[in-house]
């Protein structure tokens, strides 16, 4: 009886299964990203008007459904495939204004020599308010003519019992290493003692002074206000301190393993006193043997860092003033002047502070 019931049920359901074959599949919703509208082939920045803005017009993105959209113009160097784009400006409308001064600074940080012209790639990133993926436009190449920005780059220095100079705020305190592309990002990998530390902008002055009041975001006393609390170090050891003023955030992460120490590290190159013939020795901190320092007068040219007066271990990069050098990297461009030069053999970061 049960078998007969099952057979009858299957006979009844069979037409329904067959009918399902004719059901329409869900339609594929087409989406169209925003794009730059009539982008210029070139942009000339002259620096005469600090309030000048560059206006980018973009088309409306179509997500196939009603949604609000935030449009962001992004830029990166050619050939980098937007691996590290910078956001120039955003808007919920299709008109995006970008500060000419900011565009100039970003173009220089991406490799265009101040006062010269070079290509940059631009694209539009469209982010919907609904739970949908962002859309990216195809890149567009625009030639940017930069101006020599007179703005002084912000330098930051460590102070506090957890650092090399203690609470002495004017004793050649080690600087944070500024990222060459995101000029608001600073990274310092090195030894810290148990205790606290802060970050200063000017040696010999207690303000501007940076710290944290909640353990996760950066607080600052520009002057006249209340000083923030310290960044805390839980125990002696090597850490990477990441300090990002563009997001007002920081982190202090233990270093997995200490790197090799070197007997000597020096600078060498056409821009140094000894040329390419010999290294000029740097001095390591007693507090941390991986942080090296020298005050040197350079001429227009190039330089590298190398260990033990030999070429087996050498570091180079293509960014002037600050950067992250790598083994056998390119020669570092340098301009004439006297600099307080710092190098970190743990991660290859360097910074030149003009005296």
Whether residue 275 sits in one domain with residue 249? no
Whether residue 118 sits in one domain with residue 140? yes
- Owning domain of residue 336: 265-354
Taking the mean position of all CA atoms in its chain, how far away is CA 243? 11
Of the three residues 254, 282, 311, the one that is the final residue of a domain is 254
Q: What is the CATH number of the domain that holds 184?
A: 2.60.40.3620
Whether residue 90 sits in one domain with residue 61? yes
Residue 23 lies in a domain: no
Whether residue 115 sits in one domain with residue 50? yes
Whether residue 54 sits in one domain with residue 124? yes
Q: Are 80 and 67 in contact (CB under 8 A)?
A: no
Q: Are 343 and 305 in contact (CB under 8 A)?
A: yes
Residue 286 lies in a domain: yes
The angle at the Cα of 326, spanning 242 to 276, to the nearest 5 degrees, equals: 130
Q: What is the CATH number of the domain that holds 111?
A: 2.60.40
Task: Provide the pLDDT for residue 69.
Answer: 97
Supply φ then ψ for residue 125, to 5 degrees.
-110, 125
Q: Are 212 and 242 in contact (CB under 8 A)?
A: no
Whether residue 323 sits in one domain with residue 247? no
Which residues are 337's β-sheet partners?
Answer: 298
Question: Distance between CA 67 and CA 53 in Å, rounded?
Answer: 28
Residue 14 lies in a domain: no
Whether residue 282 sits in one domain with residue 350? yes
Average pLDDT, rounded, for the chain: 90
**Which letter does DSSP use for residue 75 in this model?**
E
Task: Find, among 82, 118, 81, 125, the residue nearest to 103 by Cα.
Answer: 118
Task: Provide the pLDDT for residue 7.
Answer: 52
Task: Provide the pLDDT for residue 231.
Answer: 98
Task: Provide the pLDDT for residue 298.
Answer: 94
Please state the pTM of the whole predicted model: 0.62
Handedness of CA 293, 294, 300, 301 (dihedral sign): negative
* Helix ranges, 74-125 (H): 100-109
Task: Provide the pLDDT for residue 152.
Answer: 54
Cβ neighbors of 279 (< 8 A, separation 6 or more) are 264, 266, 267, 268, 306, 309
Whether residue 305 sits in one domain with residue 222? no
**Domains contained in the chain, number:** 3
Q: Are 308 and 263 in contact (CB under 8 A)?
A: yes
Cβ neighbors of 86 (< 8 A, separation 6 or more) are 74, 75, 76, 106, 109, 110, 181, 182
DSSP 194-228: SEEEEEESSTT---SEEE-SSSSB-EEE-SSSPPP
Residue 310 lies in a domain: yes
Whether residue 236 sits in one domain with residue 191? yes
Which residues are 158's β-sheet partners?
Answer: 199
Task: Provide the pLDDT for residue 241.
Answer: 98
Of the three residues 124, 145, 166, the one that is the final residue of a domain is 145
pLDDT tens-digit profile, the chain (355 residues) = 555 555 555 555 555 554 455 555 566 778 999 999 999 999 999 888 768 999 999 999 999 999 999 999 999 889 888 877 888 989 999 999 998 988 998 888 777 878 889 999 999 999 999 999 999 999 999 999 998 765 557 899 999 999 999 999 999 999 999 999 888 999 999 999 999 999 999 999 999 999 999 999 999 998 878 999 999 999 999 999 999 998 999 999 999 877 789 999 999 999 999 999 999 999 999 999 999 999 999 998 999 999 999 999 999 999 999 999 999 999 999 988 889 999 999 999 999 998 7
Question: Distance between CA 112 and CA 121 in Å, rounded?
Answer: 12
Task: Provide the pLDDT for residue 133.
Answer: 93
Task: Find, among 192, 204, 179, 332, the residue nearest to 268 by Cα.
Answer: 332
Task: Provide the pLDDT for residue 335.
Answer: 86
Give the Å distances, CA to CA, from 85 to 100, 107, 110, 122. Answer: 17, 11, 9, 9
The angle at the Cα of 273, spanning 269 to 277, to the nearest 5 degrees, equals: 50
Residue 290 lies in a domain: yes
Whether residue 248 sits in one domain with residue 271? no
Of the three residues 228, 254, 280, the one that is the final residue of a domain is 254
Whether residue 136 sits in one domain with residue 165? no
Whether residue 183 sits in one domain with residue 93? no
């Amino acid at each position: 009886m049960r078998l007969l019931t099952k057979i009858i049920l299957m006979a009844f359901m069979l037409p329904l299964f067959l009918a399902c074959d004719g059901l329409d599949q869900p339609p594929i919703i087409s989406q169209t990203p925003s794009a730059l509208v009539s982008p210029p082939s070139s942009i000339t920045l002259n620096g005469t008007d600090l309030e000048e803005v560059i206006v980018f017009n973009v088309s409306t993105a179509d997500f196939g459904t009603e949604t609000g959209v935030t449009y962001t113009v992004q830029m990166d160097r050619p050939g980098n495939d937007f691996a590290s784009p910078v956001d120039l400006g955003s808007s919920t409308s299709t008109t995006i204004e970008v500060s000419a001064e900011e565009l100039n600074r970003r173009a220089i940080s991406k490799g265009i020599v101040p006062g010269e012209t070079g290509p940059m790639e631009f694209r539009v990133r469209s982010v919907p308010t609904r739970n949908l993926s962002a859309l990216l436009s195809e890149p567009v190449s625009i030639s940017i003519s930069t101006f020599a920005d007179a703005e002084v780059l912000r330098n930051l220095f460590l102070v506090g019992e957890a650092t090399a100079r203690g609470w002495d705020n004017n004793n050649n305190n080690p600087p944070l290493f500024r990222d060459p592309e995101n000029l608001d990002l600073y990274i310092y990998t090195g030894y810290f003692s148990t205790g606290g530390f802060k970050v200063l902008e000017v040696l010999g002055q207690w303000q501007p002074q940076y710290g944290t009041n909640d353990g996760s975001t950066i607080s600052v006393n520009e002057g006249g206000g209340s000083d923030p609390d310290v960044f805390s170090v839980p125990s002696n050891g090597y850490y990477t301190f990441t300090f990002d003023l563009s997001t007002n955030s920081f982190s202090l992460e233990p270093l997995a393993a200490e790197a090799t120490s070197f007997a000597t590290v020096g600078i060498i190159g056409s821009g140094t006193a000894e040329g390419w013939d010999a290294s000029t020795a740097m001095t390591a901190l007693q507090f941390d043997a991986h942080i090296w320092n020298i005050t040197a007068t350079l001429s227009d040219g190039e330089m590298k860092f190398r260990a033990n007066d030999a070429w087996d271990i050498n570091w180079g990069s293509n960014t002037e003033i600050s950067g992250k050098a790598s083994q056998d990297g390119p020669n570092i461009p340098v301009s004439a002047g006297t600099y307080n030069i710092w190098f970190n053999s743990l991660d290859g970061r360097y910074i030149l502070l003009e005296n």
